[in-house]
């Protein structure tokens, strides 16, 4: 009979307890052996068997789980969007996924993917080797922005993540490596960095712009104020503080109505959304003083309320300048009068001298026809005395009226034009032809005759200077029309309906567009220094504005210039009455021996008088009112005359020109030049042309006869026959 099995005390049983050893000294202890029965042993076996089955199930489950985990690992290793490789310590690539192959060896023609280290740029190779050492010691290592060779993909930048793989069955160390392509991230980071740099630059520019704007506001010569939606001041620059006599800290927060009440009313009445020019307004300073301002504004729309910026320009200086300019314009008009005296003196003297000469000559002839003791002789003596006194007065400087404000009265403009042209004809150079076209039905205007004469003289003087030494024509045309042309250099409202039109045109060189734009500016002139003040046309412009009229100018280079004056018509008509020249009575002759005298003058009354006077004195007189006709007569019969006496100032052909041409026909013919305004220039030109004497008008009969007799006597003494 076999002995029952007993567990050894020093060996573990299925439950982890030590099994009792069989045999030995304990066998002798029969009381202990009896405790282990057969049933107990069977139960232990069953228990052991159940535990083994549980362990087997656990092993099978673990095996299944391990197989599933492996499959999942393989799937993850293959499908993860990262380049994964299993690399040993020598850098040999044991496993790699498709992403690694696509990144590092994209083409079949690329070399096989065998080792990791040749894929790394030489500059980063030592860093990678150090990374593997670090991963061996601590388990992981991360290297950033390394250069890798992607074969046909070229070089790219990526991060390398190294993780050590722990393998208990094998002492060889292996690593799993992940390569992350950082090219897109680096490009995005570069773009973000560029955006950040741009944003930083824009912020700096914005700060600089704000600083510059603040500097501009503070340095502006105009007052700048900003108000919120409640019209409370939030910006008040230093100019505004100086203009309104209020410090900035005291102005901030105050209502705009404290300084610009007119602007507040304009803002409430007007629907302004962007920019607006409010025009001239009145501002109130902190001291209560009134300041004229030119105000404009700008709207800035904000979510928290609109901001209105107002710009106020101080007009105080301009108002003072305008008042000063008005005073200067008045003074300049007076200065123009004085300047015009020099131009008009010759014409005035010539015109009055011809009249006085006719008076004195006819008085002399009348005295010869009456008895010396008669009452008529006494009256003639008084007339002779008054005429000589008038002759002396003509030689003095003539002045215009006093410096009074312009006095406008109903005026027939044709009268002014007629009188002015009489002065112009005798002062105009011989090379300039003056043409006048006056409509006798021209209506009456309200004007100051003296100022209108000044306008005509200024325009005609400019025309004469524009023509210069060339032959040219100045034309004055007076008429009326019902409507104004739509275009013109100078535009002025206020002319409605019928008006008078006076045109002054010349055949000069004309003006360019640049000159036309500035033609009415004060002190603007195209003449050389010392030959013009630049005030003539500005005075014309000012006078026309004072008469509620308009002035236009049309000109182009080579086509002359045309100035058109427009005057509003008054309701008080004044008929045009041209002056009538009364002829002088005939006087018989007295002395002389029949010498033949040619007398040339454009004044018919004076020609008529001289012919009668010299004929009575015994001379054979031939007279001409046209110097060209006189020259033709001399050419036809050069030896028919013994003396030539000619007036200087004749339209289109002066006495100097006549003497010069006569010298070519009859070099030895005595000649005398008569003028009521003999300047040094006239005297020099006359003597250079060959004149033998100068006769100053006016003169009485004895003086004229003695001069004629002296010239004839001198010529007779110089003759070879004598």
Q: What is the pLDDT of residue 322?
A: 87
Q: How large a percentage of the chain has pLDDT more than 90? A: 11
8-state DSSP, 543: H
Least confident stretch, 23-27, 63-67, 310-314: 23-27
Contacts of 111 (CB under 8 A, 6+ apart): 105, 151
Listed residue (657, 674, 620, 623) closest to 642, CA to CA: 620
H/E stretch holding 516 = helix 513-517
Given a contact cutoff of 8 angstroms between Cβ atoms, the answer to whether 347 and 424 are in contact is yes
| Paired residues of 151 in beta bridges | none
Q: What is the pLDDT of residue 505?
A: 92
Q: What is the pLDDT of residue 141?
A: 93
Reduced 3-state DSSP string for 183-215 = HHHHHHHHHHHHHHHHHHHHHHHHHHHHHHHHH
Q: What is the pLDDT of residue 407?
A: 63
- Can you read off the two tokens belonging to residue 76? 């993850």
8-state DSSP, 256: G
8-state DSSP, 245: T
| Paired residues of 176 in beta bridges | 86, 163
Other C-beta atoms closer than 10 Å to the C-beta of 235 total 18
Listed residue (402, 418, 487) closest to 452, CA to CA: 418
Q: What is the largest CA-CA distance in the chain?
A: 220
User: Does the pLDDT at position 608 exceed 80?
Assistant: yes
Least confident stretch, 55-69, 169-183, 222-236, 347-361: 347-361
Least confident stretch, 163-177, 251-265, 565-579: 565-579
Reduced 3-state DSSP string for 400-465 = CCCCCCCCCEEECHHHHHHHHHHHHHHHCCCCEEEEEEECCCCCCEEECHHHHHHHHHHHHHHHHH
The rounded distance, in Å, linking the Cα atoms of 223 and 655 is 68
The rounded distance, in Å, linking the Cα atoms of 353 and 359 is 10
User: Does the pLDDT at position 404 exceed 60?
Assistant: no
Least confident stretch, 389-393, 408-412, 567-571, 665-669: 389-393
The rounded distance, in Å, linking the Cα atoms of 346 and 351 is 8
Tell me: the pLDDT tens digits for 135-180?
A: 989 989 999 888 888 878 788 888 899 999 876 566 678 898 998 8
Mean pLDDT computed over 349-372: 76
Given a contact cutoff of 8 angstroms between Cβ atoms, the answer to whether 213 and 193 are in contact is no
Least confident stretch, 414-418, 435-439, 607-611, 694-698: 694-698
Exposure string over 624-636, b if 16+ CB within 10 A, otherwise e: bbebeebbebbee
- Can you read off the two tokens belonging to residue 245? 């006599």
> DSSP of 546-579, one letter per residue?
HTT-EEEEEE-TTS-EEEEEEEEBPSS-------
- Cβ burial, residue 655 (10 Å; 0-12/13-18/19+): buried
Q: What is the pLDDT of residue 42?
A: 77
Instruction: Name the 3-class secondary structure at 483.
Output: coil
Structure confidence at residue 519 as a pLDDT band (50, 70, 90):
confident
User: Does the pLDDT at position 34 exceed 70?
Assistant: no
Given a contact cutoff of 8 angstroms between Cβ atoms, the answer to whether 381 and 371 are in contact is no
Q: What is the CA radius of gyration of the chain?
A: 61
User: Does the pLDDT at position 395 exceed 90?
Assistant: no
Instruction: Name the 3-class secondary structure at 135.
Output: helix
Q: What is the pLDDT of residue 212?
A: 87
Q: What is the pLDDT of residue 612?
A: 86
The rounded distance, in Å, linking the Cα atoms of 126 and 120 is 10
Residue with tokens 């070879």: 720
Mean pLDDT computed over 581-591: 38
Evaluated on CA atoms 643, 647, 648, 654, the torsion sign reads negative
Mean pLDDT computed over 563-575: 76
Residue 488: left if φ>0, alpha if ψ -120 to 50, beta else—which one? Answer: left
Mean pLDDT computed over 273-302: 85
Indicate the angle between helix axes 655-665 and 627-636, nearest 10 degrees: 10
User: Does the pLDDT at position 577 exceed 60?
Assistant: no
Residue with tokens 């008429």: 479
Q: What is the pLDDT of residue 504?
A: 92
The rounded distance, in Å, linking the Cα atoms of 58 and 610 is 163
The rounded distance, in Å, linking the Cα atoms of 654 and 384 is 30
Given a contact cutoff of 8 angstroms between Cβ atoms, the answer to whether 244 and 231 are in contact is no
User: Does the pLDDT at position 721 exceed 60?
Assistant: no
Mean pLDDT computed over 600-626: 87
Indicate the angle between helix axes 316-369 and 413-427, nearest 10 degrees: 70
Please give the domain boundaries of the chain with CATH numbers for all domains.
1-27 (no CATH), 80-181 (3.30.450.20), 220-314 (3.30.450.20), 409-568 (3.30.565.10), 596-718 (3.40.50.2300)
Given a contact cutoff of 8 angstroms between Cβ atoms, the answer to whether 701 and 365 are in contact is yes
The rounded distance, in Å, linking the Cα atoms of 426 and 415 is 18
- Cβ burial, residue 335 (10 Å; 0-12/13-18/19+): middle
- Cβ burial, residue 458 (10 Å; 0-12/13-18/19+): buried
CA 97 to chain centre: 74
Average pLDDT, the chain: 78
Residue with tokens 């250079």: 688
Q: What is the pLDDT of residue 531?
A: 56
User: Does the pLDDT at position 374 exceed 70?
Assistant: yes
Tell how many helices (H) and how many strands (E) occur in the chain: 19, 24
Q: What stretches of 310-412 show up as alpha helix (H) in DSSP?
A: 316-369, 375-394
Q: What is the pLDDT of residue 599?
A: 92
| Paired residues of 142 in beta bridges | 161
The rounded distance, in Å, linking the Cα atoms of 684 and 673 is 12
- Can you read off the two tokens belonging to residue 341? 């005296």
pTM of the model: 0.34
Tell me: the pLDDT tens digits for 88-106?
A: 888 898 888 888 888 888 8
Q: How large a percentage of the chain has pLDDT more than 70? A: 78
Contacts of 242 (CB under 8 A, 6+ apart): none
8-state DSSP, 521: S
The rounded distance, in Å, linking the Cα atoms of 428 and 510 is 20
Given a contact cutoff of 8 angstroms between Cβ atoms, the answer to whether 432 and 464 are in contact is yes
Given a contact cutoff of 8 angstroms between Cβ atoms, the answer to whether 115 and 107 are in contact is no
- In the chain the first and final C-alpha atoms are separated, in Å, by 215
Mean pLDDT computed over 105-133: 88
């Amino acid at each position: 009979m076999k002995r029952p099995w007993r567990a050894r005390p020093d060996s573990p049983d299925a439950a982890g307890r030590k099994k009792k050893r069989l045999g030995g000294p304990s066998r002798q202890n029969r009381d202990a052996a009896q405790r282990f029965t057969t049933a107990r042993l069977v139960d232990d076996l069953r228990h052991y068997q159940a535990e083994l089955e549980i362990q087997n199930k656990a092993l099978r489950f673990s095996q299944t789980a391990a197989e599933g985990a492996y499959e999942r690992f393989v799937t993850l290793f293959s499908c993860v969007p990262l380049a994964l490789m299993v690399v040993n310590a020598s850098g040999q690539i044991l496993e790699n996924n498709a992403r690694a192959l696509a990144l590092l060896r994209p083409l079949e023609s690329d070399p096989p993917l065998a080792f990791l280290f040749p894929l790394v740029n030489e500059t980063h190779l030592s860093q990678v080797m150090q990374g593997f050492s670090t991963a061996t010691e601590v388990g992981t290592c991360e290297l950033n922005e390394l250069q890798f060779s992607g074969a046909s993909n070229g070089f790219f930048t990526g991060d390398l993540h190294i993780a050590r793989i722990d393998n208990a069955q094998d002492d060889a160390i292996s690593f799993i490596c992940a390569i992350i392509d950082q090219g897109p991230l680096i490009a995005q980071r570069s773009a973000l960095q560029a955006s950040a740099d741009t944003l930083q630059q824009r912020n700096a520019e914005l700060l600089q712009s704000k600083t510059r704007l603040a500097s501009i506001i503070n340095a502006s010569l105009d007052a700048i104020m900003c108000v919120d939606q409640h019209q409370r001041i939030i910006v008040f620059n230093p100019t505004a503080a100086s203009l309104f006599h209020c410090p900035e800290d005291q102005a901030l927060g105050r209502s705009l109505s404290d300084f610009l009440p007119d602007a507040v009313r304009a803002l409430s009445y007007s629907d302004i959304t962007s920019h607006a020019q409010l025009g001239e307004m009145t501002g109130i300073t902190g001291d209560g003083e009134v300041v004229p301002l030119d105000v404009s504004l700008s709207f800035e729309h904000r979510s928290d309320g609109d901001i209105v910026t107002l710009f106020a320009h101080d007009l105080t200086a301009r108002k003072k300048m305008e008042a000063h300019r008005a005073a200067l314009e008045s003074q300049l008009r007076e200065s123009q009068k004085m300047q015009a005296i020099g131009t008009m003196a010759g014409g005035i003297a010539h015109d009055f001298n011809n009249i006085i000469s006719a008076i004195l000559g006819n008085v002399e002839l009348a005295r010869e026809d009456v008895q010396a003791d008669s009452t008529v002789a006494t009256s003639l003596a008084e007339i002779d005395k008054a005429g000589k006194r008038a002759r002396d007065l003509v030689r003095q400087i003539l002045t215009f009226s006093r410096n009074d404000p312009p006095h406008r009265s109903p005026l027939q403009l044709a009268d002014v034009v007629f009188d002015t042209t009489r002065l112009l004809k005798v002062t105009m150079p011989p090379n300039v032809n003056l043409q006048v076209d006056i409509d006798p039905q021209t209506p009456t205007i309200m004007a100051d005759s003296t100022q209108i004469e000044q306008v005509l003289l200024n325009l005609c003087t400019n025309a004469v200077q524009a023509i210069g030494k060339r032959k040219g024509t100045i034309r004055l045309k007076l008429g009326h029309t019902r409507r104004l042309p739509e275009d013109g250099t100078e535009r002025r409202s206020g002319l409605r309906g019928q008006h008078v039109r006076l045109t002054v045109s010349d055949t000069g060189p004309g003006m360019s567009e640049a000159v036309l734009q500035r033609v009415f500016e004060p002190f603007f002139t195209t003449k050389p220094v010392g030959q013009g003040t630049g005030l003539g046309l500005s005075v014309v412009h000012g006078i026309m504005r004072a008469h509620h009229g308009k002035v236009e100018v049309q000109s182009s280079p080579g086509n002359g210039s045309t100035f058109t004056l427009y005057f509003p018509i008054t309701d008080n008509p004044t008929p045009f009455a041209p002056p009538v020249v009364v002829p002088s009575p005939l006087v018989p002759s007295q002395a002389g021996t029949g010498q033949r005298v040619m007398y040339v003058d454009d004044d018919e009354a004076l020609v008529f008088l001289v012919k009668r006077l010299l004929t009575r004195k015994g001379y054979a007189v031939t007279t001409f009112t046209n110097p060209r006709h006189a020259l033709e007569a001399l050419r036809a019969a050069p030896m028919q005359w013994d003396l030539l006496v000619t007036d200087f100032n004749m339209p289109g052909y002066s006495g100097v020109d006549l003497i010069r041409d006569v010298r070519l026909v009859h070099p030895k013919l005595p000649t005398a030049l008569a003028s009521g305004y003999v300047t040094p220039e006239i005297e020099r030109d006359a003597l250079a042309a060959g004149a033998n004497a100068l006769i100053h008008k006016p003169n009485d009969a004895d003086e004229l006869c003695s001069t004629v007799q002296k010239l004839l006597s001198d010529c007779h003494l110089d003759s070879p026959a004598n």
